[in-house]
Amino acid sequence: MTIQIKHKLFFTLLLTSIVVSSGMFLFMQWSFDRGFLNYVNNQQMQELDQLSERLVANYAREGSWYFLKGNSLLWEQLLRTAEKDTEQPESRSEQRGSQLSGPPPGRGPRVALYDANKQGIFAPPIEQQLQLKPLRYQESVVGYLAIVPPKELSEAGDLQFVKQQTETFALVALAMAVLSLLLSFPLTIHLLRPIKALAGGTRKLIAGHFKTRIPVTTKDELGQLSTDFNSLAITLEKNEQARQQWVADISHELRTPLAVLRGDIEALQDGIRQPGPKTFEALHSEVMHLGRLVNDLYELSMSDIGALTYKKVIVDPIGILNGSIEQFEQRFAEKKMHLSAELPIDSSFQLLADPDRLQQLFTNLLENSLRYTDTPGKLNIHMKTEKNVLFIYFEDSAPGVTAEQLEKLFDRLYRVEISRNRARGGAGLGLAICRNIIEAHQGIIEAESSVLGGLNITIKFPLQG
């Protein structure tokens, strides 16, 4: 049988309350018994004053303690006379013949009388530290009185008082246990309410309901856990939306060139179009477009799962960038775009990177500007270093993009509708691949509006010290 957490928490709180109540009851009982015994002893020590006066008076009359030795009846009468302060002790001659065997009744066994040498007259041997009250006659100590502290109470009134207090303590402890029982259940329900909400929300997430949110009712750890759960649900919802959009975009990108190919091939089959160089060139163009798209998708997927290989060595990024720029100079000139690069002639930059991936990065950025910048246009490339970080800037001219579009430029298959159409550009994977390459080199890539009216793409690479 599986015990639910609410039962575990309930019994834990209840058991803790019972243990605390029981411990408090035992401690209070022990403290009260000890304190009450001390109180009784102190009270009885004060009652010895009257007995001391009578004992000293008898000692003065008799001249020694001989009159008391063995005369337990006289000793008991002296005790009773001191308590009641009404009767006078009988003379020694009248009581000499009447002696009791064993301890006298009443308080006799507890009141101890010692001579000046602390030898017991009516007292047990001194086996413990007693509070001795000296008996003085003519400024000399002739004896001592003491009360032997009992280990437990024996008087009926004292016992009744202690019994009443014990019952009161027991009732208080029982009331606390019952109160804990009554409070434990609602407290358990209150503590488990957010946990149940989390469990229910988790089951909904497992079932694919990523719009699930749970209310945050507290500001403690459970409240923070609920907030984290909602953040996780939002992330999963966005990822699911991105996945659906990704599948839809890929389907759309693949369907269009396939539809064109199918139409051209069917036209050839039906004799509507005749085989010729122009027809084959159109078919080849669509096949190449499909090839580039599939290759970009493959490269991007390999980068996402970490399977894209990187052979990092110490390289000079300026040399690789210069080589990429030389490959695009003629194409920029044909499109009547001005390409300028303000790069250091002699530098000692040392970057741990894969040279092939760096060239791919720079090529994609150059291709992106070449495709989407209006003619005549301009692309300005420059760099700087700051605190062991290399900054490379790609600034081109119009058209620009909005702030909302800037945040999506590096998303897969995203294209700005104004300029990034299929006739002029690719499928919108180039910048996504660039971001993966940058992140694989522990760098950062950002996009913002350019002072030239277009885009300013900033790359940050950590340099080797």
The per-residue pLDDT for range 142-179, each reduced to its tens digit, is 888 887 765 555 555 556 766 777 777 778 778 877 77
Res 265 pLDDT > 80:
yes
Q: How is the chain split into domains, by residue range? A: 5-147, 221-298, 313-462
Res 255 pLDDT > 70:
yes
Long-range contact pairs involving 224-233 (C-beta distance under 8 Å, separation at least 24): 225/194, 225/198, 226/194, 226/197, 226/198, 229/198, 229/201, 229/202, 232/205, 233/201, 233/205
Rounded CA separation 264/282 (Å):
9
Res 95 pLDDT > 50:
no
What CATH architecture applies to the domain 221-298? Orthogonal Bundle (1.10)
Rounded CA separation 459/384 (Å):
11
Q: What is the DSSP string of 275-291?
A: -SHHHHHHHHHHHHHHH
Rounded CA separation 26/448 (Å):
75
Tokens of residue 211, six digits: 């719009």
Rounded CA separation 291/206 (Å):
37
Environment class of residue 404 by beta-carbon count within 10 Å: exposed (0-12), middle (13-18) or buried (19+)?
exposed
The per-residue pLDDT for range 309-340, each reduced to its tens digit, is 678 898 888 889 998 999 899 989 988 899 99
At residue 128, the pLDDT reads 58
Rounded CA separation 166/171 (Å):
9
Long-range contact pairs involving 15-22 (C-beta distance under 8 Å, separation at least 24): 17/176, 17/177, 17/180, 17/181, 17/184, 18/177, 18/180, 20/176, 21/173, 21/174, 21/176, 21/177, 21/180, 22/173
Q: Which region holds residue 387: left if phi is over 0, alpha if psi is between -120 and 50, else beta?
A: left
Rounded CA separation 165/229 (Å):
54
At residue 96, the pLDDT reads 39
Backbone φ, ψ for residue 424 (5° rounding): -100, -25
The per-residue pLDDT for range 34-63, each reduced to its tens digit, is 666 666 666 666 667 778 888 888 888 888
Res 198 pLDDT > 80:
yes
Would the pTM of this model clear 0.75, i.e. be above it? Answer: no
What CATH architecture applies to the domain 313-462? 2-Layer Sandwich (3.30)
At residue 104, the pLDDT reads 38
Provide the 3-class DSSP secondary structure of residue 190. Answer: helix
Please provide the average confidence, as pLDDT, over all residues in the chain.
Answer: 77
Q: Which residue's entry shows tokens 């990704």? A: 246
Q: Using an 8 Å Cβ cutoff, are 383 and 391 in contact? A: yes
* Count of C-beta atoms within a 10 Å radius of residue 461: 22
Bridge-based pairing of strands 337-342 and 377-386 is parallel
pLDDT band of 181, cuts 50, 70, 90: confident
Top-confidence range, 72-76, 236-240, 443-447: 443-447
Q: What percent of the chain has pLDDT over 90?
A: 8
Q: 313-462: same fold as 221-298?
A: no
Q: How far is CA 1 from CA 4, 5, 131, 169, in A?
A: 9, 13, 64, 38
Res 406 pLDDT > 50:
yes
Span 112-132, average pLDDT: 74
The residues facing 145 across adjacent strands are: 113, 133
